[in-house]
Homo-oligomer: A and B are copies of this chain.
Amino acid sequence: MTLELKPVQALALWQDVVLETVRRDGPDLSSRQFAILLTVYLTSPPHTVRGLAGSLNVSKPAITRALDALGQLDLLKRKRDEADRRNVLVQRTVKGSVFLRDFADLVTSVAGRLEA
């Protein structure tokens, strides 16, 4: 079952979702932060700073800072790799899972009443 989505529907969907997230006074993540969050939760581990930087085509310091911010929000956490202590493994948190599940529900809800 492939997903049929016309251009005008795509824009309407995006508008409703973005508008809703802007109106709520939630965490207000940047595009990069959100991309990192989604990548960590949707692709298989391990996730390192260097790996994320390459995958997002972004500098390493940008990843470090984003991890600081996401860590402070408790949406993600760092853990030293005991096998190779140079590495830092980025891991999920309960709060992050809840956050993304809520977001997914928002999108599906908006999509549902899109073309009623």
Residue from A23, A28, A35, A57 having most chain B Cβ neighbours under 10 A: A35
A83 at the interface (CB under 8 A from B): no
Q: Is the interface of A mostly helix, strand, loop or mixed?
A: helix
- CB pair A101 B35 closer than 8 Å: no
A66 to B35, CA, bound (A): 22
- CB pair A38 B14 closer than 8 Å: yes
A81 at the interface (CB under 8 A from B): no
A94 at the interface (CB under 8 A from B): no
- CB pair B38 A3 closer than 8 Å: no
A11 to B42, CA, bound (A): 8
Binary B-proximity of A23-55 (CB < 8 A = 1, otherwise 0): 100001011101100110110000000000000
